[in-house]
Amino acid sequence: MNNHFSHLFLRAVLPIIVAYLLMVGLSWLLAILYQIPHRYCWDLVRFSLPLLLAWLGIVGIRSWQRVRHLQRHDATVWPHNPVEDELLTQLITARTASDRHVRDLRLHQQRQLDRLDLFAHEIKNSLTSLQAAAENGPDVDSTSVQDGVRTANYYLDLLLNDERLAMSTTDYNFSWVNLQDLVNAIIRQNSAVFIRRQLVPQLVNLDRAVLTDPKWLRFCINQLLSNAIKYSHSGGSITIAWHDHALMIKDEGVGIPPADQRRIFENGFTGHNGHQTTQSTGMGLYLVKKVADKLNFTVRVRSRVGVGTSCYLIFPAANIR
């Protein structure tokens, strides 16, 4: 601020200094023309220069005091010179940007807290159901336990990965990932819910490898598969296939209304289908889209109401073999 103030102050008083130098130069020239002793010119400089320096000092001090006042307060005073006008403009601009940044941070923090409350509530519901099942008798239905544990793990996974993605220092480890092995592992992880919902997984042409982060690709596939399971009809099938540079996860479920499709990647958007189930957070597709943007692949969704939904993870040709 000191260097900037000095620059602006010098620019503001420069016309006065130039006028003074011209006056001294003109006086010297007149003394030469009219053969006036040079001591009179030196006397003029000797008596006028201290006055000029004193005036510059007073003006500089007052300007600096007003600048400090503008910094400490709400910049409600009117500028008295170009220095103050320039500094006031910059101060207002900086404060406006700072206030906007603070509002954005507070909004982001509030959204994080809202998501944390939602996830904590869902995890607590799962634990409560497990506790109720245990209190009803010594024998607990394994299906209820598996459902509760799976639901708690699902929301805990969402919460942790949401926090990881929010960190700018997140590291990504790229390697070649065999889709057949990865999808089979995810199917085995969800085998209990497939059996309970009588859903048939159909794997087609997955003998491919893609270059990406295996942990985050697993997260994306798991989220898309969870959505397919959630909105599928019992007794249906879910197809996971490779076609034209894309991994497709297709269900035969309720489908997404056209009015909701343009907003499905928005943070917290649940849509019409989400309101029909208590297990919708509106976070799954949002996080998948966020991961895809960071890892240089694309996610697309096509859906028809009553027919089903197809989700595609599209990879660059250079990342496929």
Model pLDDT, residue 84: 62
Most confident of 102-111, 149-158, 216-225: 216-225
In this model, does residue 253 exceed pLDDT 60? yes
Structural domain of residue 38, as residue ranges?
A: 2-73
Instruction: Identify which of 62, 76, 86, 75 has the alpha carbon closest to the alpha carbon of residue 1.
Output: 86
Of residues 301 and 109, more confidently modeled: 301
The predicted model gives 293-305 an average pLDDT of 93
Q: Answer yes or no: do 188 and 51 share one domain.
A: no
In this model, does residue 217 exceed pLDDT 70? yes
pLDDT band at 275 (very low <50, low <70, confident <90, very high): very low
Of residues 118 and 301, more confidently modeled: 301
The predicted model gives 25-47 an average pLDDT of 80
Q: Is residue 249 part of a domain?
A: yes
The predicted model gives 7-22 an average pLDDT of 79
Model pLDDT, residue 47: 82
Of residues 249 and 79, more confidently modeled: 249
Q: Answer yes or no: do 177 and 314 share one domain.
A: yes
Instruction: Please state, for a pLDDT cut of 90, what percent of the chain lies above it.
Output: 31
Instruction: Please state, for a pLDDT cut of 70, what percent of the chain lies above it.
Output: 85
Report the Cα–Cα distance between both ends of the chain, in Å, rounded.
57
Q: Is residue 102 part of a domain?
A: no
- Among 25, 45, 73, give the residue marking a domain's end: 73
pLDDT band at 67 (very low <50, low <70, confident <90, very high): low
Q: Answer yes or no: do 289 and 179 share one domain.
A: yes
CATH code, 206: 3.30.565.10
Range name among 207-211, 239-243, 273-277 with the lowest pLDDT average: 273-277
The predicted model gives 228-257 an average pLDDT of 93
In this model, does residue 301 exceed pLDDT 50? yes
Gap between the Cα atoms of 10 and 95, Å rounded: 25
Most confident of 45-49, 61-65, 191-195: 191-195
Q: Answer yes or no: do 59 and 184 share one domain.
A: no
Range name among 51-65, 118-132, 183-197, 221-235 with the lowest pLDDT average: 118-132
In this model, does residue 213 exceed pLDDT 60? yes
Q: How many structural domains is the chain composed of?
A: 2
Q: Is residue 89 part of a domain?
A: no
Q: Is residue 202 part of a domain?
A: yes
The residue to which tokens 């209304």 are assigned: 257
Q: Is residue 145 part of a domain?
A: no
Q: Is residue 158 part of a domain?
A: no
Model pLDDT, residue 178: 96
Average pLDDT over the chain, rounded to an integer: 82
- Among 51, 73, 95, give the residue marking a domain's end: 73
Of residues 161 and 212, more confidently modeled: 212
Q: Answer yes or no: do 61 and 178 share one domain.
A: no
Model pLDDT, residue 208: 93
pLDDT band at 300 (very low <50, low <70, confident <90, very high): very high
Q: Is residue 125 part of a domain?
A: no
- How does pLDDT run across 168-205, given as a tens digit for each residue? 666 789 999 999 999 999 999 888 889 888 999 999 99
Model pLDDT, residue 71: 59
Gap between the Cα atoms of 2 and 310, Å rounded: 61
Q: Is residue 226 part of a domain?
A: yes
The predicted model gives 291-301 an average pLDDT of 93
- Among 38, 58, 73, give the residue marking a domain's end: 73
The residue to which tokens 């007149």 are assigned: 30
The predicted model gives 45-63 an average pLDDT of 83
